[in-house]
Structure 1
């Protein structure tokens, strides 16, 4: 059984014996987990999944999930199979220690605030990231003002 609640939904979904029956497309995502607190990893997840499950009332469900719902569904079904997001990492370098980012933030007079519409928002948290090499917390100062950025802005800054 899994319980999912997306940001725009008032009530959580309870899915009994969920099974992913089809995966389409791939996208790179930042993912964290309460089972591994203090870390984020860059992994690949499906753009869309189809699944079947049983509702708490016993009804058979067929689900089509896109983007964040697909990611959350894959993440939770992985847990049922004994898999953590860490098992999907291509390299340990794709894992970010958030405490190092917080230390780096205090060493500089600017920050980039990410309002993630993904899993971190579901956990009710807001993460602050510094532009630059996020794997070891070394910041590459690009500007001395506070920047509010989206994930795409972060990617652009880290490439530049």
Structure 2
């Protein structure tokens, strides 16, 4: 395994993982068609967080496109990358933020601040495409902060209860 802190060239796996993570900067899903396998599977965890996925390739792309209803970006910054030849996988530890749509926000904008951490675990097929992703969320912040903000945003945008 190698870490992103050394000077070796980036593997195609790492490049694909970085491309995957970068789509959240703009929520443009176009690059996903090139890097995801036709058999792509995406699951979020831990199991205490429900209501998201699992998805196939089309379902995951639709999920990311759906985020555009409430936010303009979901900036994800890579903290650490672990690339494994032996398991044909890449693990990416990230920090994240949310840029909400102005019309989604009510009250004090400071209440809408969210900084979380995620772990993306990617496994690749023989062609070098991402075949499986397990995304581990910061469960405490996701349940206690993020989900209520999404619910408020949906109400503010007229899509809630």
Return the structure number with greater relative CO, CA threshold 8 A, min gap 6: 2
Smaller-chain TM-score range?
under 0.3
Q: Which TM-score applies when normalising by structure 2? A: 0.26
- Structure with greater proportional strand content: 1
Q: Which TM-score applies when normalising by structure 1? A: 0.27
- Structure with greater proportional helix content: 2
